[in-house]
Structure 1
Amino acid sequence: MNRIAAAVLIAFSGAAFAQAPAAVPAAPATIATASAAAYSLEADVTRAMKLFDVPGIAIAVVKDGKVVAAQGFGVRKLGAPEKVDAKTLFEVASNSKAFTAAALAMLVDEGKLAWDDPVTKHLPDFQMYDAYVTHEMTVRDLLTHRSGLGLGAGDLLWWPTTNFSTDEIIHKLRFIAPSTSFRSSYAYDNLLYIVAGKIIAAKSGKTWGETIHERILGPVGMTTTTTSLAENAGNPNVANAHSKIDGKIAAVKSMPVPNAVGAVGINTNAEDIARWMNVLLAGGSLGKDANGSEARLFSAKQAQEMWTAQTPMRISTPNPKLAGTKPHFAAYGLGFQLRDWQGKLMALHSGALQGFYSKVVLVPEAKLGIAILTNAESGGSINALQYQLVDHYLGTPNAPDWIGAVAAVENENHAKEQARLATTKAARAAKSQPSLARTAYDGDYQDPWYGIATIKHAGGKQILSFARTPDLTGELQHFQHDTFIVRWKERNFNADAYVTFALNPDGSIERMKMQPMSTETDFSYDFQDLNFTPVKKSQ
């Protein structure tokens, strides 16, 4: 998970609200922190923060319906004294997908839709690239990463922050070519969760955020959780985003994603996510209401459906140092990844946005839930703590030192990637020249789904900019032949890319293609999916 991403509900008619659970669980019982036991949660988290260069982490652990830990470590922002605590808000990105899945499950319970309804039944204008897929795509398919879209396809419509509307993003799905046939394989995507969020809003007559607050956050008691960065305004207890710039961790600006909330909209903290995990582990139960009756967010039937394998996932062989992490099965359910650990089912999900990584891990058989929230882009830190904490709270005998092992593997992989980049640079035809004068590459280029990108000279530099993504602008530097490198002005993106031009027989430019330079670039920078052609100038 060195690449992102890597992430609600329904306020329908008045009658629907009358049937919705109204019971709000009491605040968690007194938190028993790890310092009260022989095991030191603080020692593990502090060590991980140091090894993976993470400024702040919040941890929530629930077991058997009780909150075992909900606490913060480190600072909200480098260079500032404010500490992370149990109420500090973090962006949790794709961990929002579980909220969207739960919202749809509630609609299924209420008879407002069925999992296998065609999407077009609820969004008549919905259209994919292929007419057959458009006709056959179901609500279930929206959540299960089996649409035929490639990994992260179309994410540049919302990442980094764009000014496309949600409706524009959904409309542009019809222009994104698939990479595999429908339902043939797993490939993680975000755009179809945006569609799922749109269905929820359409059924409620309110925004995704409003319905999430009314139908999920309120009943669960997640009183400080928000559904947009705008809601965080005025709350000082918010974690700052951090990214690596030239290999050094630094505070950076957050990434608003108002057009992608169905996939990545939730901001939460340790206390609130502990409540959420307990509801999930209870199969959707909110406990007893004032009349002594069980109140539910969604039915036990839907809880089982969400944790039932829908799409098989390929299992790769890990580095020998991490051999014990290899599962016997891996699949995606509805808003959750499913796998086994120590012979038990595990439902989990990661979340990544610029400056934040998070993970939620649930072991239903053990009634164990662990949430790890960080204010840095460190997949290694959340994976290491996942393995370490799950083994501890499951009482796994002779458990390995997962924090040390993951750190060692991450360092090895990074060193290999740096060596590969150096070899590529050394092997280039350094003395080659572009086929055309540099100004001949200037102009507007259009991609079928993204739209316009522009190359122009400014201030003695040649600049590439994306029309609908204000921060996606950078200088073009010659690499070899007709390939350039765009070095983005926002250096925390860590997403510099090759830009290659193909020529027609008459020497004019036929197309412009892009490709990330590094395998460590987040997959949501899906430059490789773009196919730009020059926009012909009007006579």
Structure 2
Amino acid sequence: MRGTRASQRLSRALASAISIALASLAFAPRSSAQDAPLQGFDAYVAEALKAWQVPGCAVAVVKDDRVVLAQGYGVRTAGKSDPVGPETLFAIASNSKAFTATAIAMLVAEGKLGWNDLVTERWPGFRMMDWEATRRMKVIDLLCHRSGLGTWAGDLMWFGSKLTRAEVVERIRYVPPAFDYGTGYGYSNLMFVVAGELIPRVDGRSWEQFLLERLFQPLGMTRTNTSVASLAGDPDVATPHTLVRGPLEQVPYLDVSNSGPAGAINSCAKDLASWLRFQLAEGRVDGQKLVPASAIEMLRIPQNLRVVSPFARSLNPSTHLAAYALGFEVADYQGRLKVEHTGGLNGMYSIVALIPEAELGVAVVTNLDEHDLTHALALHVIDAYLGVPAQDWSQRYLKAKRGQNAERAAAARRGVSKRVPNTRPSHEPKDYTGTFANQLYGEAVVAIEGDKMTLRLSQHANTGVLSHWHYDVFLATWDDVVWHESAVRFETDIEGRIGALSLKIRPEWIDPLEYRFERN
């Protein structure tokens, strides 16, 4: 949204809640939840893991600059006994965004960048489809989701694809906008990739090297890394799991190096405790100032107002206002500022939450995707330390999740009921085969292999088996568990040939755009 008096008042009100007092420095993680507010927490987590079918998780809690908990629960891999520990690595996905935003804040503090610098001044080759967005895009816009792109738009380009980071950024110019630049909210991973790629252009170091030298090493985050390749040979790594097809099953780690600044970091409870301390101490660690407090404060100032959905308000009536800041979301909670972010990738989900006024931070990482246990555990800890009446957040979120699942199942049944029976394709199977092209993505190849018709997309290794649905619509069942299924609609051109196909890939998880491929 554009600036209004209401949003300016919100910015001042939330920003004024950020200042905290530095407490005595101590790092003393417990082997179990022993602090008085956390009595019974271990048992609560164990019960919640079972209820949510989450194999394992790790939790870090920081209070008054002291690590009161850095512990693992459950197992690294379902069906095995290897326990999750404080150094077990998990993908933290979009919780990487706060690291990228902090890196940019450090460069701004050093005068190498300005928040209001035009992106094209620092990167003349940067292009969006919307020329106004290209011309007016500022550094700060990249980090608060007001680029004009829709939520997750274009993410299929990088989501486990063969494209390099440079190729992903180059193709952003082909992603259609959802609204005018600066006028709405669209959660854009692509803009964080651009932000990360500004770092070498002004500092000389890659995003990966900058984070290693300026954040990971000074904070003692010795286990944290920025790629799936770094996990090879490490014996203490959690296995990703999903329930997308019903039963719990393992999935491979998703290599997202090509979108690293948006979500490629892997970390553990021990290291995330250090990250919480750093954020709560406003840029200091063990007395050393890594970045001015004003830079950390900037990350918490609301930039893009968000609607508190009826679903969110029903779960948490104490939240009235919410916004995206820079790499973090901010909202009021129990009369205090809550700074948080979530992160999800195939088989993994996480949350980082801060209550700066209370000098309280919590991080939860899990080895299952698409669930709300992370929120439940974070709120359980926050409520315990704030002294507000206890709620069974796990059961509240679980009830809501079951309701959502029921709605999705009903929607799926409605979709099946709309299938028109006793129809035939308009052409013979061989007429659907061939190579089709899309400017943003690349190519789609339809082939007949034995008695099956298959679909392959050029930038991914996945194969979909096509089965007739009705008329010229086919259902692609992918060999990638997370991709699951896609409706593929074929079109007849003016000459009567199959001239194009259109499809979406898991719009509720991967990319909402419909990709139209035209025959070469």
TM-score (norm 1): 0.88
Task: Give, as a single letter, the amino acid of the residue that structure 1 aligns with 2:278.
Answer: V
Output one character per residue of 1:74-133: Cα deviation in whole Å (capped at 9) or x when no partner.
111122221001010111010000010010011001100101111112211111102221
Residues 6-65 of structure 1: per-residue CA shift (max 9 Å, x gap) = xxxxxxxxxxxxxxxxxxx99822427324647211122112211111001000011111
CA distance in 2, matches of 1:113, 1:206: 14
The 1:401–1:269 alpha-carbon spacing in structure 2 relative to 1, beyond 3 Å, is: same
Residues 481 and 283 from structure 1, CA distance in 2 versus in 1: closer, same or farther, beyond 3 angstroms? same
Report how far residue 319 of structure 1 moved. 7.2
Cα offsets for 1:121-180 (capped at 9, x unmatched): 221111110222111111111111111111101111111x11111111111011111011
How far is 1:340 from its partner?
Answer: 1.0
SS of 1:141 mapped into structure 2: helix
Distance 1:434 1:30, change over 3 A: closer
For 2:511, the equivalent position in structure 1 comes to 525
* Aligned partner of residue 215 in structure 1, secondary structure: helix
Identical counterparts, % of pairs: 37
What amino acid maps onto 1:529 in structure 2?
A: E
- Equivalents in 1 of 2:35, 2:306: separation in Å? 40
Q: What is the match of residue 48 of structure 2?
A: 48
Paired with 1:386 and 1:435, the residues of 2 have a C-alpha distance of 54
The correspondence for 2:340, drawn from 345, 348, 362, is 348
Question: How many residue pairs align between the two structures?
Answer: 496
Tell me, in whole angstroms, the C-alpha distance in 1 between the residues paired with 2:25 and 2:428.
69
- In the alignment, is the contact (CA less than 8 A) between 2:74 and 2:83 conserved in 1? yes
Aligned partner (choices 280, 293, 306) of residue 300 of structure 1: 293
Match of residue 63 from structure 1: 63
Distance 1:394 1:27 in 2: 21
Give unmatched runs, 5+ long, in structure 2.
1-23
Q: Give the one of 349, 363, 376 matched to 1:371.
A: 363
CA drift of 1:210 comes to: 1.6
Counterpart in the other structure of 1:449: 440
Aligned counterpart, 2:254: 255
Q: Any idea what the Cα deviations from partners look like across 1:271-309, whole Å, max 9, x if unmatched?
A: 110010111011112232xxxxxx222211111111000
Supply the AA of the counterpart residue of 1:216: L
After alignment, is 343-352 or 118-127 more displaced?
118-127
After superposition, where does 1:211-230 map in structure 2 within 5 Å?
Answer: 211-230=210-229
**Cα distance in 2 between the residues matched to 1:44 and 1:36:** 15
Matched with 1:477 is: 467
Does the Cα contact within 8 Å between 2:156 and 2:505 map onto a contact in 1?
no
Partner of 2:391: 400
**CA distance in 2: counterparts of 1:58 and 1:30, whole angstroms:** 13
Aligned 8 A contact 1:474 1:488 in 2 = yes
* 8 A contact 1:461–1:475 mirrored in 2: yes
1:282 corresponds to 2:281? yes
Deviations 1:485-513 (A, max 9, x none): 111012x2153111112323432234322
SS at match of 2:47: helix
Output the CA distance in 2 between the equivalents of 1:439 and 1:502. 15
2:171 is equivalent to residue 172 of structure 1 = yes
Aligned pairs (5 A) from 1:20-59: 28-31=27-30, 33-35=32-34, 37=36, 39-59=39-59
SS at match of 1:362: strand
In the alignment, what sits opposite 1:109?
109
Letter in 2 for 1:50: K
Instruction: Write the mapping of 1:307-386 to structure 2, written as runs, cut at 5 A.
Output: 307-318=300-311, 322-325=314-317, 327-386=319-378
Please say if residues 54 and 378 of structure 1, whose CA atoms lie closer than 8 Å, have aligned partners that are also in contact.
Answer: no
Map of 1:467 onto structure 2:
458
Find 2:487's aligned residue among 498, 521, 533. Answer: 498
CA, structure 1 residues 236+27, in 2 after alignment: closer, same or farther (shift >3 Å)? farther
478, 489, 493: which one aligns with 1:488: 478
Q: Paired residue for 1:3?
A: none
Tell me the SS of whatever aligns to 2:217: helix
Quick check: 1:142 aligned with 2:145? no
Q: Against the structure 1 CA distance between its residues 27 and 211, is the aligned structure 2 distance closer, same or farther, given a 3 Å change threshold? A: farther
Q: How many Å separate the matches in 1 of 2:385 and 2:436?
A: 54
Letter aligned with residue 321 of structure 2: F
CA distance, structure 1, for counterparts of residue 437 and residue 414 of structure 2: 33
Tell whether the 8 Å contact from 1:154 to 1:176 is kept in structure 2 after alignment. Answer: yes
Q: Is the 8 A contact 2:28 2:68 kept in 1?
A: no
1:513–1:27 Cα change, 3 Å: farther
- Identify if the C-alpha distance between structure 1 residues 185 and 194 changes in structure 2 by more than 3 Å, giving closer, same or farther: same
Say which SS state the counterpart of residue 410 (structure 2) adopts.
helix
CA distance in 2, matches of 1:319, 1:303: 27
Q: Please, what TM-score do these two structures have when normalized by structure 2?
A: 0.92
Contact 2:97 2:327 in 1 (8 A): yes
Is the CA contact (8 Å cut-off) linking 1:154 and 1:529 kept in structure 2? no
In the TM superposition, 1:105-254 aligns within 5 A as: 105-159=105-159, 161-244=160-243, 246-254=245-253
Aligned in 2, Cα 1:323/1:258: closer, same or farther, shift over 3 Å? Answer: closer
Counterpart-to-counterpart distance in 1, 2:415 and 2:131: 41
2:16 paired residue number: none
Pick 1 or 2: higher relative contact order, CA cutoff 8 A, min separation 6: 1
Could you say what the CA RMSD is over the residues aligned between the two structures, in angstroms?
1.9
Q: Which amino acid aligns with 1:339?
A: A
Deviations 1:220-258 (A, max 9, x none): 111111111222223211111111263111222111111
